């Protein structure tokens, strides 16, 4: 069994369409998908808001590398051009965790190192798996409780947008 948590993000073009494209790439393995959230950009702040969502997927035939490749293929299909780090993009698929796998290979860091500091990942993840634990970091509910209220407020659920 290989159960992965994937974070999806888009802030260019047809944002919802690109999230749907990513989800369609994993739909046969889909266990759960969060609501869509409109989030203020972190990192490079002078860029459009993102749409973010998190999904849990499970496929015994795929290991962590296969999840990375699946995400990268979806990014390519969305016409993503690799430019600025933390800059705008049509589609970003981050592999947040895969089972308890730990990796310090720069091509696939696991768990994804940004996760503990990103309400834009923790909030949608907690919506679909509130008792989840981030390997090496603890329960995501505790990580979320440690985020400043000012950051939490920049992650807004968009009930009018649906991925499921």
Ligand X SMILES: Nc1ncnc2c1ncn2[C@@H]1O[C@H](COP(=O)(O)OP(=O)(O)OP(=O)(O)O)[C@@H](O)[C@H]1O
Ligand Y SMILES: Nc1nc2c(c(=O)[nH]1)N=C(CO)CN2
Binding site for ligand Y (CB under 6 A): 9, 39-43, 50, 52, 86, 92, 120
Is residue 101 a contact point for ligand X (CB under 6 A)? no
Give the one entry of ligand X, ligand Y, none that residue 52 binds, where binding means its C-beta sits below a cut-off of 5 to 8 angstroms depending on kind. Answer: ligand Y
Residue 111 preceded by cis peptide, ω within 30? yes
Q: Please report, for residues 72, 100, 109, the alpha-carbon distance to residue 123 in angstroms, rounded to integers and kept in the order given.
A: 23, 20, 21
Rounded Cα distance between 156 and 145, Å, is 16
Does the protein bind ligand X through residue 114 (CB under 6 A)?
A: yes
Of 16, 31, 108, 133, the one binding ligand X by CB under 6 A: 108
Q: Is 119 in the site for ligand X (CB under 6 A)?
A: no
94 counts as binding ligand X under rule CB under 6 A: yes
If one asks whether residue 59 binds ligand X (CB under 6 A), the answer comes out as: no
Task: For residue 25, give both structure tokens.
Answer: 């790439």
Residues 6+ apart with CB under 8 A from 134: 96, 97, 111, 115, 116, 140, 143
25 contact, one of ligand X, ligand Y, none, CB 5-8 Å limit per kind: none
Contact 120, 96 (CB under 8 A): no
Q: Is 81 in the site for ligand X (CB under 6 A)?
A: no
> Residues interacting with ligand X, by CB under 6 A?
68, 82, 85-86, 92, 94-95, 107-110, 112, 114
């Amino acid at each position: 069994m290989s159960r992965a948590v994937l974070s999806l993000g888009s802030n260019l073009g047809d944002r919802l369409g690109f999230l749907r494209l990513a989800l369609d790439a994993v739909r046969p393995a889909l266990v759960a998908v969060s609501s869509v959230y409109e989030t203020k950009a972190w990192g490079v702040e002078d860029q459009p808001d993102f749409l973010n969502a998190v999904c849990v997927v499970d496929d015994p035939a795929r290991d962590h590398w296969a999840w990375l490749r699946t995400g990268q293929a979806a990014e390519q299909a969305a016409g993503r051009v690799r430019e600025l780090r933390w800059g705008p993009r049509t589609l970003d698929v981050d592999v947040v965790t895969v089972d308890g796998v730990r990796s310090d290979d720069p091509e696939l860091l696991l768990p994804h190192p940004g996760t503990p500091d990103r309400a834009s990942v923790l909030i949608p993840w907690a919506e679909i798996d509130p008792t989840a634990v981030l390997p090496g970091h603890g329960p995501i509910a505790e990580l979320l409780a440690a985020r400043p209220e000012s950051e939490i407020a920049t992650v807004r659920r968009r009930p009018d947008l649906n991925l499921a």
